[in-house]
Amino acid sequence: MEDLLEQTRLLLEEGNERKLKKFLDEQNISGVAQVVDEMPEHGPRIIETLSVNRATNVFRILDFSAQQRILKKLSGERIAAVINHLPPDDRTALFSQLHGDVVKKLIILLSPEDRKETLSLLGYKEDSVGRLMTPDYIAVNKNWDVTRVLSHIRRHGKNSETIDVIYIIDENGVLLDDIRIREILLVKPETKISELMDQRLIALHANDPQEEAIAVFRMNNRVALPVVDEENILLGIVTVDDILWIAHEEFSEDIQKIGGTSALNEPYLDISIPKLVKKRVGWLIVLFLGEMLTATAMGFFEGQIAKAVVLALFVPLIISSGGNSGSQASTLIIQAMALGEVTLADWWKVMRRELISGTLLGITLGVIGFFRIYLWTFFTPIYGPHWHLVGLTVSIALTGVVLWGSLTGSMLPLLLKKLGADPATSSAPFVATLVDVTGLIIYFSIAVMLMKGILL
């Protein structure tokens, strides 16, 4: 890669466009895309230099921020060429992220047929499968024989997104089945397509959420899946490369939300400072206000703390243990839901497992806490003559708080999903803040029950 970058840099400085084009045409598309990423200031010049097909293939695999920078500096002629050569699904993905005024200008540059196609795809909801699909596929009639199908593929396959899978439709365009190209190539030419149908069709619906499409691809070994409407009319296909891209974006958004920030939707180094602050400040304010309830809870038990100051020593230990267990549970459940391992119907199974595991985890920490206090009595009298009561309070409180944290962290994502919200918004910081407040109440309530009439 270093050699590629150095050679490209030298050719750019030399200014010989012919040599530069020849050199870049000999490189892999992914290599040229990396050059554009490493030298963004030369991105527009590289796209202008490449042939239209190669320029389009490089452009389509760049991040949106890089695409946007390049579009601002490309000549009008090259912009028109690139967007007209983009596959429909990639063009729709690009337009859906651009500002409305920019989209209007770009749509004018499209051919009438592509313009109609793009407007149709943009008519679907932003996060729907319809936005991902491409209308470039091979469809055949069930009554055709293999000879006619192969002739059809030779004539139209070049413009198809993939010819690995062939789609079978009836006279009204209703999807009947799909078969792999290998099944066609391995039978006699006179074989009817209807004889190859196995009725093991898996299809997506145009209005389905993209997250569902990711789960379907994950569970089935497919390079492409058909997209149908409510009447089972074949509208297009979604290919695995688009799904991988969406899955990457979903994963990035979930990680950012779990960390307690809004999704950036741009590379970290490309987003402006004001936007970065805006993305983070909302959650910080919510969490800050939540943590203020911690002070309120401690104020409620102010009298008990004044009588037994030793209790205050263990407040950080109690709330951090509860918050940590809640964050663990929340992260595990969000990931399991994203992978399709856990659904809303599994809520009782999840609760039962967290009741058991949370109790065991709490007992483990509680025993460690008790022995820590016991051992410290040999070195310092800080816990006083009633150290065993202090140790027992901390031990029981740890068990209760860790159990409560585990239950809260596991149930909150499922509750948000039930309400139609994104489970990832039950981020680890949010769960930790919630458990901090309730953990203090649990801790001091146990202290009052065990120490009333002795230390309190």
Per-residue pLDDT of the chain (456 residues; tens, 9 = 90+): 677 777 777 877 777 778 878 888 787 888 888 878 888 888 888 888 888 888 888 888 888 778 888 888 888 888 888 888 888 778 877 877 777 667 777 777 777 777 777 767 777 787 788 888 887 888 888 888 888 888 888 888 877 778 888 888 888 888 888 888 888 888 888 888 888 888 788 888 888 888 788 878 877 878 888 888 888 888 888 888 888 877 777 666 666 666 555 556 666 566 677 776 776 677 677 767 766 777 676 677 666 666 667 777 888 888 888 888 888 888 788 878 877 788 888 889 999 999 999 999 999 998 998 888 888 777 777 666 677 788 888 899 999 999 998 898 888 888 888 887 777 665 666 777 778 888 888 888 888 888 776 765
User: Residue 194: what pLDDT?
Assistant: 85
Q: Please indicate, yes or no, whether residues 158 and 213 belong to a single structural domain of this protein.
A: yes
- Tokens at residue 329, please? 């549970």
Domain boundary among 185, 219, 239: 239
DSSP 259: T
> Range of 31's domain?
2-121
- Asked if 216 and 164 sit in the same domain, the reply is yes
Asked whether residue 108 falls in the same domain as residue 55, the answer is yes
Same domain, 114 and 154: no
284 and 413 housed in the same domain: yes
Q: Has residue 104 been placed in a domain?
A: yes
What's the chain's length in residues?
456
Q: Distance between CA atoms of 389 and 385, rounded to whole angstroms?
A: 9
Looking at 217, 239, 261, the residue that finishes a domain is 239
Amino acid identity, position 379: F
427 phi, psi to nearest 5 deg? -65, 160
Model pTM score = 0.57
Nearest to 243 by CA among 80, 93, 50, 393: 93
CA dist 152 and 170 (Å) reads: 16
225: β partners? 238
Q: Are residues 417 and 383 in the same domain?
A: yes
Does 379 reside within a domain? yes
126 and 161 Cβ atoms separated by less than 8 Å: no
At residue 416, the pLDDT reads 81
Q: 368 with 396, same domain?
A: yes
User: Among 213, 239, 265, which residue terminates a domain?
Assistant: 239
The verdict on residue 366 lying in a domain is yes
What is the CATH classification number for the domain harbouring 173? 3.10.580.10
Query: Are the C-beta atoms of residues 147 and 157 closer than 8 Å to each other?
Result: no
CATH code for the domain of 333: 1.10.357.20
Helix (H) or strand (E) holding 370: helix 347-376
| Position 220 in a domain | yes
Please check whether residues 71 and 199 belong to one and the same domain: no
- Residues 341, 431: one domain? yes
Residue 213 lies in a domain: yes
Answer yes or no: do 79 and 6 share one domain: yes
Same domain membership, residue 315 and residue 171: no
Question: Domain check: are 311 and 222 in the same one?
Answer: no
Domain count, the chain: 3
Question: What is the spatial distance between Cα 399 and Cα 365, in angstroms, rounded to a whole number?
Answer: 7
Q: Of 314, 312, 313, 410, which is closest to residue 361 (Cα–Cα)?
A: 410
285-297 burial code (b ≥16 CB/10 A, e <16): eebeebeeebeeb
Tell me how far apart the alpha carbons of residues 239 and 237 are, in angstroms, rounded to a whole number.
6
Assigned token pair, 410: 């596991």
In a domain, 260, yes or no: no
- Beta 224-228 vs 204-205: how paired, if at all? parallel
The answer to whether position 259 is within a domain reads no
> How far apart are alpha carbons 1 and 15 in whole angstroms?
21
Domain assignment of residue 244, yes or no: no
CATH number of the domain at 38, please.
Answer: 1.25.60.10
